[in-house]
């Protein structure tokens, strides 16, 4: 087995790490950085870029640059419509209410876009380690549901990675803490990232990390804070210029970039100046944006978002059955946790100093690398006991949801429940498996269903059917139903309602390979055309410079060569024809040059036109 890496697939940035002996180490990407922007860009010439290069083109081609895909992965189009309206790139529903991301006529799934990011991370890891990388641990927000987790795993499969384990981001951070602090403690991991928020309460011992409770919001993150600042900037611009530019995607992208920079600057400064020249133009001429955002105004704009994270912290404390003073340390994770107001609010809640020994951007990847080390045998003294993030249960009479395994149950776990028939002489019982916290079926996520047949005929309510849920350490759900009187039974193993089959993964890879092949072919053609243009320019300059020294036939042949080359460019000749043309032009230019040097092509006197 090769080296297993740990990957923090983030909304804003992604990070990878690996174990070097018993020490985790951040993997440096191809650009020499520790963070890889989770951005995928497509050029006008259909080339694909990932990371820093893609992020740089966001302001120029916002409709061809995909960001924040983590908030889309594993979600339905209908449930994400509210936030989709803010995106600069085009998103439309595909079959089954899935999300489709359209770029230049091609439609990508969020899994495919995420796979591009994972592919870049994989290549960076292979360059960094000097060996092939095929296995990984990937982290997700603790409050990701089963559909979102499996979609993340599918993205890894498309990228050619065997995702051995999906673990929660706060739990990964706790693993990093565990390797640094060899003492018993109750800790809180406050994880405020670019797109999601999580809070987990854990008990850690010398070599054990046990999650007691986790809460969060997968639609609350730094990007929501940025959007509040963007809305404020739009208002300021309208007040100053009387122009509403909220519908201009390029303008919005420039404002989003400015908002993100302002947010970061206000972590250390009390105010920041935002200056965007030539933001737009109309009949009156160019319009500029210049304003000052103070920290107090910023905190006022996002106060309810910050308060929402504290509300989740209080929920987690209640579910863990502990008071704030029972928490020994608070670990801050995620870039948004650097906001001074956040730190003040968290400190006020827990009445504890904040642990700042870890880099908030890297600690999750380090924890993932430690988990990779456990699976790879490099780390043997760490035990992780995680919990279920949502309640699991079945549908019962009246379209109601009957919980079987409560949220925050330690995995692995087994639970059983007796159910019965709802009509007389019923021979078939449908077992509908659900995940969520709602009282009604419609308010929860369907994980799958199966039928138990050959139930012994009897009056309603008489048969006794035992439904057993089993969740293993990988989060795989196994549901079994058995008629106690007859012994008839059936079961289902639930990987995910949206899990891609191997055929679907292979087809996705083929589609991407075909697009890449087309892009590579286009890139090769463009390169050859540029080289031919340079050759034609060089030949034309040579003929002009030596016109008086050449015979009429040489000049005629030269003009024919130029004509042939220009026609090939106009007709957009294929790569093979362009290569033949290159060879011909090289030979002709060399032949004419030799004649000039030898004097054999030189005419006496002036050459007539």
Is residue 532 helix, strand or coil? Answer: helix
**Known catalytic membership, residue 169:** yes
What secondary structure does DSSP assign to 371-389, as a single string?
HHHHHHTS--S-EEE-B-S
φ and ψ of 177, to 5 deg: -60, -40
Instruction: Indicate the helix (H) or strand (E) that contains 493.
Output: strand 489-494
**Known catalytic membership, residue 70:** yes
Instruction: Indicate the helix (H) or strand (E) that contains 452.
Output: strand 445-452
Contact 116, 37 (CB under 8 A): no
**Known catalytic membership, residue 594:** no
Nearest-angstrom CA–CA distance, 485 and 577: 78
Assess whether the previous peptide bond of 412 is cis (omega < 30° from 0): yes
Structural tokens at position 253: 């992208």
Contact 177, 354 (CB under 8 A): no
- Which value, in Å, is the radius of gyration of the alpha carbons in the chain? 31
Nearest-angstrom CA–CA distance, 594 and 601: 9
Residue 126: how many CA atoms within 13 Å on its side-chain side? Answer: 13
Active-site position among 146, 154, 191, 312: 191
User: How many other CB atoms are there within 10 angstroms of residue 171's CB atom?
Assistant: 27
**Known catalytic membership, residue 248:** no
Nearest-angstrom CA–CA distance, 177 and 171: 10
Assess whether the previous peptide bond of 285 is cis (omega < 30° from 0): no
Contact 463, 494 (CB under 8 A): no
Is residue 17 helix, strand or coil? Answer: strand
Task: List CB contacts of 563: < 8 A, sequence separation 6 or more.
Answer: none
Active-site position among 154, 169, 329, 395: 169
Active-site position among 55, 70, 120, 263: 70
Nearest in space to 4 (alpha carbons), one of 164, 141, 140: 164
Nearest in space to 73 (alpha carbons), one of 32, 126, 109: 109
Nearest-angstrom CA–CA distance, 235 and 271: 18
Nearest-angstrom CA–CA distance, 498 and 336: 31
Angle at 525 between CA 519 and CA 528, to 5 degrees: 140
Angle at 597 between CA 593 and CA 598, to 5 degrees: 115
Q: Sort 508 into a burial class: Cβ within 10 Å, 0-12 / 13-18 / 19+.
A: buried
Residue 267 CA from chain centroid, whole number: 25
* H helix runs in 500-551, sequence order: 502-545
What secondary structure does DSSP assign to 287-343, as a single string?
EEEEEEEEHHHHHHHTHHHHHHHHHHHHHHHHHHT--GGG--EEEEESGGGG-HHHH
Task: List CB contacts of 368: < 8 A, sequence separation 6 or more.
Answer: 6, 7, 8, 17, 137, 138, 139, 167, 172
Nearest-angstrom CA–CA distance, 370 and 394: 36
Q: Which residues pair with 445 in a beta bridge?
A: 435
CA dihedral 24, 475, 512, 9 (to 10 degrees): -40
What positions carry a catalytic annotation? 8, 70, 169, 191
């Amino acid at each position: 087995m090769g080296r297993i890496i740990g990957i923090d697939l983030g909304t804003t940035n992604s990070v990878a790490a690996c174990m070097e002996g018993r020490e985790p180490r951040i993997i440096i990407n191809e650009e020499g950085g520790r963070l890889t922007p989770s951005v995928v860009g497509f050029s006008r010439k259909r080339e694909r870029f990932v990371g820093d290069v893609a992020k740089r083109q966001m302001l120029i081609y916002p409709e061809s640059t995909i960001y924040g895909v983590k908030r889309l992965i594993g979600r339905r189009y209908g449930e994400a419509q509210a936030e989709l309206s803010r995106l600069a790139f085009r998103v439309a529903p595909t079959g089954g209410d899935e999300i489709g991301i359209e770029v230049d006529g091609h439609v990508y799934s969020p899994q495919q876009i995420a796979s591009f990011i994972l592919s870049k991370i994989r290549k960076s890891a292979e360059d960094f380690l000097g060996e092939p990388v095929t296995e990984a641990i990937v982290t997700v927000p603790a409050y990701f549901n089963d559909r979102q987790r499996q979609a993340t795993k599918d993205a890894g499969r498309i990228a050619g990675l065997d995702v051995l384990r999906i673990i929660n981001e706060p739990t990964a951070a706790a693993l990093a803490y565990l390797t640094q602090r060899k003492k018993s403690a109750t800790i809180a991991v406050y994880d405020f990232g670019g797109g999601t928020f999580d809070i987990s309460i854990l008990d850690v011992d010398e070599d054990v990390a046990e999650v007691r409770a986790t809460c969060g919001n997968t639609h609350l993150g730094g990007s929501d804070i940025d959007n509040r600042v963007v809305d404020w900037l739009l208002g300021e611009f309208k007040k100053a210029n009387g122009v509403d530019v909220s519908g201009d995607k390029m303008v919005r992208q420039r404002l989003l970039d400015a908002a993100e920079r302002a947010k970061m600057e206000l972590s250390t400064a009390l105010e920041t100046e935002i200056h965007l020249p030539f933001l737009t133009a109309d009949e009156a001429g160019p319009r500029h944006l210049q304003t000052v955002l103070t920290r107090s105004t910023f905190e006022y704009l996002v106060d309810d978002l910050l308060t929402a994270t504290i509300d989740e912290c209080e929920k987690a404390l209640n579910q863990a059955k502990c008071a704030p003073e029972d928490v020994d340390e608070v670990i801050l994770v995620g870039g948004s946790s650097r906001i001074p107001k956040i730190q003040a609010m968290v400190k006020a809640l827990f009445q504890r100093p904040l642990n700042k020994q870890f880099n908030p951007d890297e600690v999750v990847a380090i924890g993932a690398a430690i988990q990779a080390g456990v699976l790879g045998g490099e780390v043997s003294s760490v035990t992780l006991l995680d919990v279920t993030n949502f309640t699991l249960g079945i549908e019962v009479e009246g379209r109601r949801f009957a919980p079987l395994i409560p949220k925050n149950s330690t995995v692995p776990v087994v639970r059983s429940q007796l159910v019965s028939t709802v009509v007389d002489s019923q021979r078939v019982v449908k077992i509908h498996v659900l995940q969520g916290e709602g009282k009604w079926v419609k308010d929860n996520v369907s994980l799958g269903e199966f039928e138990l047949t050959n139930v012994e005929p009897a009056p309603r309510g008489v048969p006794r059917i035992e439904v057993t849920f089993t969740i293993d350490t990988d989060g795989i759900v196994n549901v079994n139903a058995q008629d106690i009187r007859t012994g008839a039974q059936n079961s289902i193993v639930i990987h995910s309602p949206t899990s891609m089959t191997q055929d679907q993964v292979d087809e996705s890879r083929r589609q991407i390979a075909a697009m890449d092949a087309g892009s590579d072919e286009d890139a090769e053609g463009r390169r050859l055309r540029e080289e031919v243009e340079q050759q034609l320019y060089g030949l034309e300059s040579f003929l002009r410079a030596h016109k008086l020294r050449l015979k009429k036939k040489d000049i005629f042949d030269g003009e024919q060569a130029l004509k042939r080359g220009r026609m090939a460019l106009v007709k957009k000749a294929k790569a093979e024809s362009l290569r033949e043309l290159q060879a011909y032009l090289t030979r002709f230019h060399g032949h004419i040059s030799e004649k000039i040097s030898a004097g054999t092509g030189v005419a006496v006197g002036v050459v007539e036109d």
